[in-house]
Amino acid sequence: MSIVLGENATKVATPTPANRLKPGEFDGRVKTLQDTYEAAVLVAGSTIKIGPKLPKGAIVLDVEIMADALGSGNTIIVGDAEDDNRYILSEEMHTANKILHTNAIGGKNYEVDKSDADNLDNQITITTGGVSISGTIKVTVFYTHD
């Protein structure tokens, strides 16, 4: 049996000016971005932009999406213009009130604009696939930005 330290636990255990915790990694304030879209036979391959753009430096903690039964054979992914499935990988939304959360490892604790000079990663998007969809889609993005 061994005891190991996560990245931030290591920084706390060996404090130096070079390895301080970034704002929002400890004792950060959680903020939300919420939006709703009412789909009416929205064709597969469509992109839905969600809310205002996230601020540079925001750390995305979770993306939660809930929807009506959007129809059999549909798929959705959630990401941004730089990576269309950064947060939620392809999932079917055929059951009413189904809730999805961030399920892509790269999207968990993702820092917005970390490497993107064109700011393509700060607009959350939903991309539809499979078949046309109809119904209500609600999205909540939880993030820190201190």
Total domains present in the chain = 1
Position 120 in a domain: yes
Q: Which residues pair with 98 in a beta bridge?
A: 67
- Indicate the burial class of 93 (C-beta count within 10 angstroms; 0-12, 13-18, 19 or more): buried
Which residues 6+ apart lie within 8 Å of 3 measured at CB?
none
Which residues 6+ apart lie within 8 Å of 140 measured at CB?
32, 33, 34, 63, 64
Q: What pLDDT band is residue 10 in, cutting at 50, 70 and 90?
A: confident
Task: Provide φ and ψ at 66, rounded to 5°.
Answer: -135, 145
Q: What pLDDT band is residue 115 in, cutting at 50, 70 and 90?
A: low
Output the six-digit token pair for 93.
């939304």
pLDDT tens-digit profile of 68-113? 999 899 999 999 989 999 999 999 998 999 999 999 999 999 999 8
Q: Are strands 110-111 and 98-101 parallel, antiparallel or unpaired?
A: unpaired
Residue-number span of the structural domain to which 121 is assigned:
28-144
Q: The pTM is what?
A: 0.87
Position 53 in a domain: yes
Position 46 in a domain: yes
Q: Are 71 and 94 in contact (CB under 8 A)?
A: yes
Position 3 in a domain: no
Position 2 in a domain: no
The CATH number covering residue 60 comes to: 2.60.120.220
Position 110 in a domain: yes
Position 19 in a domain: no
Q: Are 96 and 33 in contact (CB under 8 A)?
A: no
Position 45 in a domain: yes
